[in-house]
Structure 1
Amino acid sequence: MHGNAYWLDVAVVPDRRREGLGTTMVHHLASLRHENLPLKNRGFEGDVGLAFADALGARTVQVVPPFTVSVSRRHSLSALGQHWRGSLVSASALSVQDVETANAETYEWTHEHWSPVGPGFASAVNDGLWEDLNIEATVFALDEAGQIAASAMVYAEDERPLIVTETTSREQQLGEAAVAACVHEALSRLAARGVDEIDFDGHVSDPHFMPVLARLSPTGRWFRLFELVPDEAIRRTV
């Protein structure tokens, strides 16, 4: 979907760590690459895997904030959400094509500066989308012309519902208010179904999502997406 890195995951059993096995595996796997692209993965702050990557010179490409939120915090979005001048609708009020187009537009611009998508990404990012969504809890903000301006996509996960939210374009007018209105409505619908907590998925570079998340006082751990440039990692260990 992105085509700009190789995803790599190396695991060493605890009693064999600090023997150079992980480093050797990274160097070997790097030698098998067909293209001169970096290696990529992610990790929570404090995890040994992230510390290992840092020791090899990992370069942070994105940061994901703590993301667990109490649904009761939705009231902190009421005032901001009221500034949205358009309407709110469920996913069920829209066509599958409209939902998928909005999802792809949001995904593309929120990744363009740090992990640009490749050709044909939309079919991959929308694969199984309709089956994964909680259709009635997913909310879209429509502008005064009836066009989709933002969304709060609610995914049915095993532990807690997961919400992905942003505008469909970076330059969306009143984008923060549109996101706040979507999230407030989605959380209200989940509260009516007895949900107490949800998780978000987003990035610190998402300009309309982050101010909304901050108002919700999230808890949890930070994690980083990182890249390793194999030649640089080798130089650090020789």
Structure 2
Amino acid sequence: MARRKAEPEEQKPRRRPRADRRPVRWLLRWTRRAVVFCLVMIATLILIYSKVNPPTTLTMLEERRQRGSVQHFWVSMDDIAPVMARSVVAAEDANFCRHWGFDVKAIKMAMADGAVRGASTLSQQVTKNVFLWQGRSWIRKVLEAGLTPLVELVWSKRRIVEVYLNVAEMGPGIFGVGAAAKAYFNTTPDRLTARQAAQLAAVLPDPKRRDPANPTQWLKKRAARIADGAATIAADGRAACFED
């Protein structure tokens, strides 16, 4: 009996050689590693900067690149007039002592108004100023949202205010309350009056276009509101977390 001829096997489609996918896998793998490395480095810096003063920020470096130099020197919280700290809190984050990094009520109000300014806390601004960059990109916002609770967890409220007062831009190329007190009022941070402190706080968040030494009528009114706010948070206990 004649044997039936074996039918040829159906040819399967050839798979692309694995070597073709290796560059993509290599890129993804190293991208993940780079992201993890950056996050670990930032987390390490958050821990270090809880005790060690940040030497500079990306914003300062950019200003120095554009201008050639910036005015900045570090001042301990003990050498800053308490009214200055209360003024920036009153101006930027009146409920600073009552939240854990995000002011949910302020965020809801800002969303209802269709705006984002006014919802950013001091903790968020310090995170952005020290560890990230300026701008409105979603990537930065996501990183800021992820890192802010860690800053709140590791740093004291007093430390957050101290760092903010030393890295915030308070004029063109002027960073920190030490440089601002000297540049605008020819004084030291510990000698700032309530009026001077309020006028320095009033230039935030637009320091390049506002001059605390020669305030407009609008800026004077804003400074007066800030001075009232600083007195109010001192009276009702909302300054206790950074004055202890």
- The structure with the larger Rg is 2
More helix as a share of residues: 2
Q: TM-score, normalised by structure 1?
A: 0.27
More strand as a share of residues: 1
Q: TM-score, normalised by structure 2?
A: 0.27
Higher RCO (CA < 8 A, seq sep 6+)? 1
